[in-house]
Structure 1
Amino acid sequence: MRGPGVGLDLQAAPTTGASTTLPNAPARSSPTPSWPTTFGPATASATAGGVAATATAKVARVRWAMGDCTTVTCHGPGNPCAKSRGATPPPDCGHLCERPSSEEPGGRYRGTATATRTTTWTAPVLNDGGTFTEARATGFTADVREVQVVN
């Protein structure tokens, strides 16, 4: 089974592009195309020498160290940004960046998403099985820009 996939969905400002957001615009844990096979549950079976084993893995949580000195823990895959929510973070998994990243090295926040996955396995012919937990971290960057409006 593949390791847990992670994705960050930034609600982009109209003029800045998909990898850039503004202060107080939502950033959310969001499904990526690989999540059905990496977030789980994912089950795999194998047989060797007449012994069959089955393992089922599921991500229990993703801890986002957002790069702006805050952390967010998500207990599900999250949801993509929706314009209808405006600047309100979703109740399941969201974050608002409150300041621009311009003072950070390279002008971007550098964060880490750490997925904790639990795997349960069984080998019935051996009357054996168990559970183990693993964590895998993935780095990301986010460009948060300040915009001044003149009326």
Structure 2
Amino acid sequence: MLRQLAVTAGAALLLLGSAHVTARAADGPTAGAGECEIIRFCVNVNTDARPGSRSNTSGKPDQGGNQVPAGAQPCTVSKLDPQPPAGSALWQGHDPGEGAVYVRVCPALQAAAAAGLGGLAGPQVFWAAQAPAAEVDPAQLAQEALDKMTLLGPDININPRPGGKGLVGMPVWMAVDQSATTWGPNTASASAGGITVTATAKVSKIVWNLGDGDSVTCTGPGTAYKKAFGLKKSPDCGHTYTQPSSDEPGGTYKVTATSTWVVDWQVSGGGESGQLTEVRNSSVAVAIVESQAVNS
């Protein structure tokens, strides 16, 4: 979101063309020079165009109604190098030494402009008495914290075991062994500009694709099978095959377990928070045969 501060009358903000990220020292306000264009009497001093989670695919408008594409990077500000000569309109009536001239690049708003959604088409050059504070995006830090984690697919613990054989009509028990990398919680932090964001990831559900066209969603890790359970069905995560796997490639069903990681993040000391999601999967092969085939 752009917050705009009005500048003194007669001071002009010059917007450089996309090919002129750094202004030439000789640039001035001469109309028709092809280098600069006076477009408004304000200084864009901040932005809240922040990337959403990886699952976010929709943009959001800023306060000015400009549509900001999701996933776009926040604005960056750097000191113009070299600084304009004394008398340049870029000083907005100030003398060299009274602050400095800066250039602001906003990929989010430039992407919006390119997509015809409003926004600003190029970098912005402005004078400021003090260097603008670094813009820290907590959501960006949350993503950096997430990238530090090792999030793996489910550690599958299924009965019948891979390499063995199960029977048509007999209960299949699906479970996963739990660890920080395969189930959570998994925690990491990232810091910048005096802000620290801590993110914690944990699996919220596992969708089991059994290879026979059926799928089962389990919100817990399931129960690992023990011989003492006999022919009972799994109390929380199970399946029963009605056809043998002999007609499948390799004579087995490919069982794929897909976990959804929910990543909650929070700025240390309170304040902004949010949520990201990640998806991981693992697969095993399970052979299912008719009972008479085992007894023969």
Tell me, yes or no, whether TM beats 0.5: yes
Aligned mates of 1:58, 1:144 — CA distance in 2: 32
Question: What is residue 138 of structure 1 aligned with on the other side?
Answer: 282
> Displacement, 1:48?
4.4
Structure 2 counterpart of 1:25, from 155, 170, 186: 170
Between 1:83-92 and 1:113-122, the stretch displaced more is 83-92
CA distance in 1, matches of 2:185, 2:286: 29
Q: Secondary structure of 1:89's partner?
A: coil
Corresponding residue number in structure 2 for 1:96? 240
Return 113-122 or 84-93, whichever deviates more.
Answer: 84-93
Counterpart CA distance in 2 for 1:132 and 1:58 is 11
Of 151, 160, 171, 1:3 maps to 151
Is contact 1:10-1:20 (8 Å) kept?
Answer: no
Deviation of residue 49 (structure 1)? 4.9
Distance 1:44 1:19, change over 3 A: farther
Q: Does 1:36 align with 2:179?
A: yes
**Do the aligned partners of 2:153 and 2:258 also contact (CA within 8 Å) in 1?**
no
How many angstroms does 1:77 deviate by? 0.7
- What is the identity, as a one-letter code, of the residue corresponding to 1:3? L
Tell me if the contact between 2:257 and 2:283 (Cα under 8 Å) persists in the aligned partners: yes
Farther off after superposition, 96-105 or 46-55: 46-55
Matched, 1:79 2:237: no
Deviation of 1:120 after TM superposition, in Å, equals 0.3
- The range that moved more, 126-135 or 106-115, is 126-135
Instruction: Name the aligned partner's letter for residue 29 of structure 1.
Output: M
Contact 2:163 2:287 in 1 (8 A): no
CA–CA distance in structure 1, aligned partners of residues 247 and 277 of structure 2: 37
Does the 8 Å CA contact 1:40/1:58 hold for their aligned counterparts? yes
Mapped partners of 1:4, 1:128: distance in 2:
28
Larger relative CO (CA 8 A, sep 6+): 1 or 2?
1
Worse-matched range after superposition: 113-122 or 18-27: 18-27
- Judge conservation of contact 2:198–2:268 (CA < 8 Å) in 1: no
Match of 1:70 in 2: 214
Tell me if structure 1 keeps the 8 A contact 2:186–2:201: yes
Gaps of 5+ in 1: none
The amino acid that maps onto 1:68 is D
| Count of aligned positions | 144
Report what 1:61 is aligned to. 205
Matches of 1:63 and 1:136, distance apart in 2: 11
Distance in 2, matches of 1:26 and 1:82, equals 13
Please report how far the alpha carbon of residue 25 of structure 1 lies from its aligned counterpart in structure 2 after TM superposition.
3.1
Report SS of the residue matched to 1:36. Answer: coil
Q: Give CA-to-partner distance per residue, 1:21-69, whole Å, 9 cap, x none.
A: 222333222232xx22121222223444543221111111101010012
Tell me what 1:111 maps to.
255
Task: State the secondary structure of the residue aligned to 1:106.
Answer: helix
CA distance in 1: counterparts of 2:256 and 2:183, whole angstroms: 17
Unmatched runs of 5 consecutive residues or more in structure 2: 1-148
